[in-house]
């Protein structure tokens, strides 16, 4: 089926239309027509040539896609910070260019984020004068409206574009410190149904840094008290006739200068009742209530703790004064000071709203209830008033402001246990966290949020059945979750199904709650471990590495892993170093593997030696895999084999999954130099894993399917063809064969190996070609493709694959497949690829390359001439 061209729906050759989320930038030079009159044709032409060089250089530096520059500039960027970077470079460049010519040279710029539709024009249309690509979608006219509103030299941004850019401002380097970030209020644009909050970002001396004036196509929304008297009277009359309707529809005026998605610091609850139970429980209740808002971004407790560490005030109560200091340090626009007190025999919850720059109280909202049972409803009342005071519409508050007893629990003891459990989990005290969550659900068996945290803990322990059990309980009581947590549960519940449904739900979560850093992190994590979407995951992770994310150290560590996966080991080392500077401790394996991929083994061992045991036995055990892979990477075969044997013996005591993986990993290593017992051992392993499949959890089935296929591939390499076919037949009924790319890839590898063993290299290539060679398939698939190309008489193609294997040693280490079962296999293939490259280059007459690769192989495996694995692959020579 052909995609339809929206302009010519019936054309069979209509170009494919692709929807995508992009930052759209529109800008126009002010008074460009008058330039010709002022400078003359020749001078203007020379000026515009320099202008085009400036434009294209800035576009290239900022990774933009120039769509059109006929009537002003239209460009697309993957991220708003890139669009802003371009706009600032362009404005400064125009300023300098105009100074050199003795004329004012400025542009108006608008930036918006949204969905756009793009399609490529046919080459004949381009030759006839059409643009190479077309762009449509609401984001384009909105950016144009912002540009039209802008004053000369001004960069105007929509709220979403500004918010995402502000988080990533550190990427601008030292320029970020010179910038001013202003909010100019809400403007209505002709043709755009809803008002938009307009922001300006600029550099003093270049940007005007003042609110743009209203015009025919864009005008500023004024508060009622600033409108002309007649309009005010009419509005008051309408208010009198339909106050309820208007109150539920339109946004409240903020009590302080607070824009949508600005940040708030919450002080500790000032408990004046003498009731100890209120101390921790009301703190977490207030945060749950505020986190329901799509208008407010909340500085997390973990972020507060980290800030206190930097201030050398760890453990100090966050009172009014300290909360104000934290707000100024963290860039928050408001402080909320909660107080619970007994007034006239009733419990009063007050939320004081403080403007941090002045330290003054702007207003206070409160609610009252009777005794313990009334404190959460009182908090709900105070929360609704505070959210309205920060400018959130009543309609939004009603839509997302689920009562705290429904969004969490009505049992304050359960809420306190949950709060302490979350804190223990963040501090890696996993057993203590588990006990506290268990206490929370014992007190309230319908506490869905606690069950969700328990499911995450079971996942971290590689406990598939436990994961599914607690996810099931969380889903059973899903109505007891806030909208944000329910969206997170929806994503978590799909993890056993495969990466695609999980990643789609995480996209929804990040779109609705842009400050939900768990969405970005988990998208990247499951994109790595399940989807093999390394480049996409790296891009999606960016918001979690920057800004206010309290767990950005972990995000930076994951960023290092993804850099390794895409073949960027030096960038990976930089990311790991940043992670450790931000406080990552415990696990250091991937950092060490980055050095090993560069063959810097002393550094690898040094970093690995810095690792500390964690509270999870399986996590600590998995840090031992380099004790197999590092010696193997240096040609110390027996040392690697001995360590792999020891780990396979010990792993079953850690968890079932660790036991299965360690045994499979040992067999993979043995398959390259098989001993007499290997054939029987691989058959026993294959059938033992197959026997577990029918009753396994979906989480475990994902891994068991991979293990059966991997064992089938090992059998095929030794000529056990019937056993290899048996593996394919065993896994065929299970959806996990298609739901997880690693399993689908492993099935292709097995079929390709069978074809090679049968002497049919072309069939092997056909099997491997069914997965587009994106570089994100299994590392082993590239090794099979190299062998098949060489066998088919294509030494140039085989050499290209050998070079790919050499250049992606980072992926050989960090590829997840099934808990890194294939890591030793990948390491072997990465070294054998050097010898293959030398042989292939010799065949092609590329003597210098052949000598270089042979020297690298000799350096990597000094004793290769005596290694059985080398003789089996290349023969006696």
Rounded to whole angstroms, the Cα distance separating 269 from 272 reads 9
Q: In terms of domains, do 22 and 150 share one?
A: yes
Lowest pLDDT segment from 285-294, 469-478, 759-768, 779-788: 285-294
Q: In terms of domains, do 191 and 292 share one?
A: no
Q: What is the CATH number of the domain that holds 69?
A: 3.30.70.1230
Of 393, 415, 430, the one marking the end of a domain is 393
pLDDT of residue 772: 59
More reliable by pLDDT, 218 or 7: 218
Work out the percent of the chain whose per-residue pLDDT is above 70. 91
Per the domain annotation, does 474 fall within a domain? no
Per the domain annotation, does 870 fall within a domain? yes
Of 348, 371, 393, the one marking the end of a domain is 393
Q: What is the CATH number of the domain that holds 753?
A: 1.25.40
pLDDT, tens digit, for every residue of 256-270? Answer: 667 777 889 999 998
Q: List CB contacts of 415: < 8 A, sequence separation 6 or more.
A: 280, 281, 284, 285, 408, 409, 440
More reliable by pLDDT, 520 or 300: 520
Residue 101 pLDDT > 90: no
Q: In terms of domains, do 269 and 152 share one?
A: no
Handedness of CA 604, 610, 614, 617 (dihedral sign): positive
Q: How far is CA 244 from the centre of its chain?
A: 41
Q: Which residues of 706-724 are buried (b: 16+ CB within 10 A; e: fewer)?
A: bbbbbbbbbbbbeebeebb
Q: How far is CA 8 from the centre of its chain?
A: 38
Residue 218: name the closest of 143, 113, 277, 302 by CA: 143
What is the CB neighbour count within 10 angstroms for residue 860?
A: 17
The values of phi and psi at residue 137, to 5°, are 125, 155
Rounded to whole angstroms, the Cα distance separating 709 from 817 reads 12
pLDDT of residue 129: 60
pLDDT of residue 222: 60
Q: How far is CA 845 from the centre of its chain?
A: 45
Average pLDDT over residues 482-486: 90
Q: How confident is the model at residue 3 (pLDDT cuts 50, 70, 90)?
A: very low
pLDDT of residue 128: 63
Pairing of strands 107-120, 133-136: antiparallel
Rounded to whole angstroms, the Cα distance separating 280 from 267 reads 12
Q: In terms of domains, do 746 and 866 share one?
A: yes
- If one counts the domains in the chain, the total is 3
pLDDT of residue 223: 47
pLDDT, tens digit, for every residue of 134-169? Answer: 888 878 888 999 999 999 999 999 887 887 888 788
> Could you please report the per-residue DSSP string of 846-876?
-HHHHHHHHHHHHHHSTTGGG-HHHHHHH--
Rounded to whole angstroms, the Cα distance separating 168 from 149 reads 25
Q: What is the largest CA-CA distance in the chain?
A: 99
Per the domain annotation, does 234 fall within a domain? no
* DSSP element (H, E) containing 420: helix 412-426
pLDDT of residue 224: 42
Average pLDDT over residues 17-28: 84
Average pLDDT over residues 650-679: 96
Q: What is the CATH number of the domain that holds 272?
A: 3.40.50.10610
CA distances 616 to 30, 438, 581, 587, Å, are 62, 18, 23, 11
Handedness of CA 817, 822, 827, 832 (dihedral sign): negative
Work out the percent of the chain whose per-residue pLDDT is above 90. 53
pLDDT, tens digit, for every residue of 605-657? Answer: 999 998 877 777 888 899 999 999 999 999 999 999 999 999 999 999 999 99
Per the domain annotation, does 785 fall within a domain? yes
Residue 619: name the closest of 575, 591, 595, 588 by CA: 588
Residue 301 pLDDT > 90: no
pLDDT of residue 33: 67
pLDDT of residue 820: 97
Look over the chain and give the mean of its residue pLDDT values, rounded to a whole number. Answer: 87
Q: How confident is the model at residue 5 (pLDDT cuts 50, 70, 90)?
A: very low
pLDDT, tens digit, for every residue of 490-500? Answer: 999 999 899 99
The values of phi and psi at residue 698, to 5°, are -60, -35
Rounded to whole angstroms, the Cα distance separating 647 from 641 reads 10
Q: In terms of domains, do 319 and 382 share one?
A: yes
Q: In terms of domains, do 853 and 790 share one?
A: yes
Residue 575 pLDDT > 60: yes
Q: In terms of domains, do 215 and 275 share one?
A: no
Query: In a 3-state reduction of DSSP, which class is residue 107?
Result: strand
Decide: 155 and 39 in contact? Cβ < 8 Å.
no
Q: In terms of domains, do 601 and 699 share one?
A: yes
Per the domain annotation, does 538 fall within a domain? no
Per the domain annotation, does 480 fall within a domain? no
Q: In terms of domains, do 200 and 325 share one?
A: no
Residues β-bridged to residue 551:
none
Rounded to whole angstroms, the Cα distance separating 552 from 545 reads 5
**In whole angstroms, how large is the CA radius of gyration of the chain?**
31
Of 393, 410, 426, the one marking the end of a domain is 393
Q: Residue 70 burial by CB count (10 A; 0-12/13-18/19+): exposed, middle or buried?
A: exposed
Per the domain annotation, does 574 fall within a domain? no
Residue 10 pLDDT > 90: no
pLDDT of residue 715: 98
- H helix and E strand count, the chain: 41, 15
Residue 419: name the closest of 237, 269, 248, 207 by CA: 269
Rounded to whole angstroms, the Cα distance separating 792 from 759 reads 10
pLDDT of residue 255: 63
pLDDT of residue 316: 86
Decide: 718 and 678 in contact? Cβ < 8 Å.
yes
Q: How confident is the model at residue 8 (pLDDT cuts 50, 70, 90)?
A: very low
Q: In terms of domains, do 728 and 592 share one?
A: yes
pLDDT of residue 871: 93
**Domain limits at 302?**
262-393
Decide: 577 and 560 in contact? Cβ < 8 Å.
no
What is the CB neighbour count within 10 angstroms for residue 756?
A: 20
Per the domain annotation, does 620 fall within a domain? yes
pLDDT, tens digit, for every residue of 239-258? Answer: 433 433 333 344 445 666 67
CA angle at 458 for the pair 464 and 497, rounded to the nearest 5°: 40
Q: How confident is the model at residue 665 (pLDDT cuts 50, 70, 90)?
A: very high
Q: List CB contacts of 356: < 8 A, sequence separation 6 or more.
A: 265, 324, 327, 328, 332, 333, 334, 335
Residue 231 pLDDT > 80: no
The values of phi and psi at residue 301, to 5°, are -60, -40
Tokens of 425: 């989990």
Q: In terms of domains, do 138 and 88 share one?
A: yes
More reliable by pLDDT, 594 or 45: 594
Residues β-bridged to residue 76:
24, 65
Decide: 464 and 495 in contact? Cβ < 8 Å.
no
Lowest pLDDT segment from 221-235, 263-277, 671-685: 221-235
Residue 21: name the closest of 102, 138, 133 by CA: 138
Average pLDDT over residues 811-839: 97
What is the CB neighbour count within 10 angstroms for residue 631?
A: 20
Rounded to whole angstroms, the Cα distance separating 199 from 162 reads 7
Rounded to whole angstroms, the Cα distance separating 334 from 356 reads 6
Q: Give the position of tokens 């009733």.
A: 346
Mean pLDDT is highest, among 177-191, 835-849, 862-876, for 835-849
pLDDT of residue 290: 87
Decide: 406 and 289 in contact? Cβ < 8 Å.
no
Q: In terms of domains, do 266 and 363 share one?
A: yes
pLDDT of residue 682: 98
Phi-psi region of 331 (alpha: psi -120 to 50; beta: other; left: phi over 0): left
């Amino acid at each position: 089926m052909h995609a339809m061209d929206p302009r010519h729906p019936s054309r069979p050759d209509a170009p494919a239309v692709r929807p995508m989320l992009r930052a759209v930038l529109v800008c126009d030079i002010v008074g460009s027509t008058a330039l010709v009159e002022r400078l003359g044709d020749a001078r203007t032409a020379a000026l515009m040539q320099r202008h085009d060089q400036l434009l294209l250089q800035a576009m290239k530096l900022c990774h933009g896609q120039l769509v059109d520059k006929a009537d002003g500039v239209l460009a697309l960027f993957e991220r708003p910070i890139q669009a802003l970077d371009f706009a600032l470079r362009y404005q400064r460049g125009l300023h300098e260019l105009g100074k050199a010519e003795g004329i004012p040279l400025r542009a108006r710029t608008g930036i918006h984020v949204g969905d756009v539709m793009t399609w490529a024009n046919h080459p004949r249309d381009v030759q006839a004068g059409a643009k190479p690509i077309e762009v449509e979608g609401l984001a384009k006219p909105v950016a144009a409206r912002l540009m039209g509103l802008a004053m000369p030299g001004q960069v105007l941004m929509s709220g979403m574009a500004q918010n995402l850019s502000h988080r990533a401002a550190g990427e601008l380097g030292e320029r970020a410190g010179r910038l001013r970030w202003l909010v100019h209020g809400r403007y209505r644009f002709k043709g755009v149904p809803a008002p938009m909050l307009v922001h300006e970002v600029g550099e003093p001396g270049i940007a005007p840094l003042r609110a743009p004036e209203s015009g025919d196509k864009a005008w500023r929304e004024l508060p009622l008290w600033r409108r002309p008297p007649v309009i005010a009277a009419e509005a008051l009359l309408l208010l009198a006739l339909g106050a309820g309707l208007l109150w539920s529809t339109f946004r409240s005026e903020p009590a302080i200068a607070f824009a949508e998605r600005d940040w708030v610091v919450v002080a500790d609850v000032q408990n004046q009742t003498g009731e100890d139970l209120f101390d921790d429980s009301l703190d977490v209740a207030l945060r749950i209530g505020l986190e329901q808002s799509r208008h407010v971004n909340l500085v997390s407790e973990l972020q507060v703790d980290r800030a206190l560490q930097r201030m050398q005030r760890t453990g100090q109560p966050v009172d009014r004064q300290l909360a104000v200091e934290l707000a100024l340090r963290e860039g928050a626009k408001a402080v909320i000071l909660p107080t619970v007190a007994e007034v006239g025999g009733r419990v009063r919850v007050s939320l004081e709203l403080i403007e941090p720059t002045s330290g003054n109280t702007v207003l206070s909202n409160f609610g009252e209830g009777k005794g313990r049972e009334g404190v959460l409803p009182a908090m709900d009342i105070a929360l609704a008033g505070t959210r309205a005071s920060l400018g959130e519409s009543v309609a939004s508050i009603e839509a997302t402001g689920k009562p705290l007893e429904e969004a969490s629990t009505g049992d304050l003891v359960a809420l306190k246990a949950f709060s302490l459990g979350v804190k223990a989990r963040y501090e890696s005290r996993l057993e203590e966290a588990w006990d506290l969550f268990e206490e929370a659900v014992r007190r309230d068996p319908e506490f869905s949020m606690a069950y969700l945290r328990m499911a995450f803990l079971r996942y971290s322990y590689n406990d598939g059945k436990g994961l599914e059990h607690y996810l099931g309980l969380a889903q059973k009581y899903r109505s007891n979750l806030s909208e944000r947590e329910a969206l997170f549960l929806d994503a978590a519940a799909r993890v056993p199904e495969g990466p695609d449904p999980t990643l789609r739900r995480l996209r929804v979560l990040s779109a609705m709650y842009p400050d939900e850093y768990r969405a970005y992190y988990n998208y990247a994590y499951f994109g790595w471990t399940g989807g093999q979407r390394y480049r996409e995951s790296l891009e999606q992770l960016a918001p979690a590495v920057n800004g206010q994310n309290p767990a950005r150290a972990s995000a930076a560590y994951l960023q290092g892993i993804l850099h390794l996966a895409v073949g960027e080991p030096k960038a990976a080392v930089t990311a790991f170093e940043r992670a450790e500077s931000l406080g990552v401790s415990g696990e250091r394996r991937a950092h060490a593997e980055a050095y090993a991929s560069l063959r810097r083994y002393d550094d690898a061992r040094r970093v690995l030696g810095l690792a500390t045991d964690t509270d999870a036995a399986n996590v600590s055990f998995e840090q031992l895999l380099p004790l197999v892979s590092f010696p193997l990477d240096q040609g110390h075969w027996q040392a690697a084999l001995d360590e792999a044997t020891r780990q396979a013996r010990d792993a079953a005591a850690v968890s079932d999954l660790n036991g299965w993986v360690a045994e499979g990993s040992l067999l993979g290593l043995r398959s390259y130099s098989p001993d007499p017992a290997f054939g029987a051992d691989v058959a026993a392993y294959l059938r033992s894993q197959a026997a577990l499949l029918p009753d396994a959890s979906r989480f475990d089935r994902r891994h068991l399917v991979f293990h059966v296929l991997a064992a089938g591939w090992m059998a095929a390499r030794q000529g056990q063809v019937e056993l290899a076919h048996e593996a394919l037949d065993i896994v065929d009924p299970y959806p996990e064969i298609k739901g997880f790319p690693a399993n689908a890839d492993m099935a292709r590898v097995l079929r390709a190996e069978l074809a090679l063993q049968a002497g049919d290299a072309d069939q092997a290539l056909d099997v491997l070609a069914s997965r587009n060679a994106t570089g994100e398939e299994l590392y082993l698939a590239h090794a099979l493709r190299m062998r098949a190309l060489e066998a088919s008489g294509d030494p140039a193609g085989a050499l290209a694959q050998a070079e790919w294997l050499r250049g992606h040693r980072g992926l050989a280490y960090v590829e997840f497949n099934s808990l890194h079962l294939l890591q030793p296999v990948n390491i072997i293939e990465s070294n054998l690829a050097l010898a293959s490259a030398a042989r292939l280059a010799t065949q092609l007459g590329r003597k210098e390359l052949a000598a270089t690769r042979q020297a690298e192989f000799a350096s990597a495996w000094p004793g290769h001439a005596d290694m059985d694995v080398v003789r089996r692959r290349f023969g006696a020579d």
